[in-house]
Structures are given as C-alpha cells and as structure tokens.
Amino acid sequence: MSEVRERVHDRTAALRAAFDRAFVEPLRLDAPPSEHLLAIRVGTKACALRLTEIAGLFADRRITRVPGGAAALIGLAGFRGALVPVYSLQALLGLGATSAATPRWLVVAAGRPAAPVALAFEAFEGQLRVALDAIVPAEARSALGGCAGEFVRADNFAGPILHLTLLLATIERTGGAAPKAPQDEITQEG
C-alpha cells in the first residue's frame, strides 16, 4: 500500500512542479507556435483533447443516472445551476461499454452555451504544450468512431487528438448510440 501511496505522491509532486514551472519560466517571444492539449485516458487508450474545445474540466461530479436513453448517455450532472447530459467517451468512441464505476473526470465542450454537453473519461494524465509540427494527420480516420483526425507525439505522450466538434456531431446524428463494432470483431455462435 505504501508503494502505491509513494507513486501517487511522486506523480502529484511532478504535476505540481510542472504547473509552478510554467509561471516561473520567462516568456519567450521567439518560441515556435504551439498547441495546448489535455492528455487523458479513455478506457485503456491514451488520447488528447484541445484546450480550445473545452469549457471546463471537472473531477468527481455527481452524475444522476437516467432510465432508458442512448447507450453512451451516463446521466445528468449539475454545472452552474444547469443540468447537463453526460456521455461516456469510451462508448462514443466504440471502445466498449463503460465499466460499472462512473468515470471520475468530465469535460464540458466549449461553444455550446444553449445546449452544453459533458463527456466522461477515466483519467486525466496532464496538460501538454506541443509544437505544431508534433501534430500530424492520423492515417485511419475511421478509428475511434471517426473522431480522431490527428495524432500527437510529445516527450511523454503519444496518442490521437479527439475532436470534440466531431464527437458532438456524432451525438446529434446518432442520439448518443454507441458505434457498432467492426465486422471482424463480431463473433457468431453456430
């Protein structure tokens, strides 16, 4: 148990030091253009989200389950006096059903003040600032429900960048239904 506690303490200290260092380091005017991303984990898959597409990041929000509804709809959560639907990123991306435990982390998508939507995922890994040349087009756009058109490779992270606008369009188009598994993954009993 102490080993786990020590790893958590070390990870917390590293995140705190990186956060503090961002305020201490001088602003470089000759720095190349960069992109700010959140490194997250959806199920077991490492992914990234653009900070410009996020209105907020929240942990441990109470989610009230609702009967029926779409497979990806986990329930409703309160944000600043408004009830917001919460969808499972894992289910939306076709990575299987969300486990029985409610995901700890939520992001609220930016640019939707009239109809906000929250997306739930398992782990927040940290914030990334990467040079624009570290972001490349993804080879297979069909992967992850067609919502990851780019890939980022940084010092301590490599994974697809999820586009929240495409995820929101998927929710509107399918009503939050989880994508069907590819044919080669479906087994039939005979």
The residue with greater pLDDT, 148 or 86, is: 86
pLDDT recorded at residue 122: 92
pLDDT recorded at residue 188: 34
Domains by residue range for the chain, with CATH: 30-178 (2.40.50.180)
Residues 45, 147 contacting (CB under 8 angstroms): no
pLDDT > 70? residue 29: no
- Whole-angstrom distance, CA of residue 19 vs CA of residue 62: 27
- Whole-angstrom distance, CA of residue 23 vs CA of residue 18: 9
Residue 124 banded pLDDT, cuts 50, 70, 90 = very high
pLDDT recorded at residue 62: 93
The residue with greater pLDDT, 179 or 81, is: 81
Q: What percent of the chain has pLDDT over 90?
A: 33
SS3 of 95, please? coil
Residue 98 banded pLDDT, cuts 50, 70, 90 = low
Residue 145 banded pLDDT, cuts 50, 70, 90 = low
- Please tell me the least confidently modeled range out of 4-13, 65-74, 165-174, 178-187: 178-187
Residues 176, 70 contacting (CB under 8 angstroms): yes
pLDDT > 50? residue 182: no
pLDDT recorded at residue 140: 54
Q: Render pLDDT for 43-97 as a digit per residue (tens, 0 to 9).
A: 889 999 999 999 999 999 999 988 877 788 999 999 888 899 999 999 888 887 6
Residues 129, 36 contacting (CB under 8 angstroms): yes
For residue 53, the Cα-to-chain-centroid distance in whole angstroms is: 11
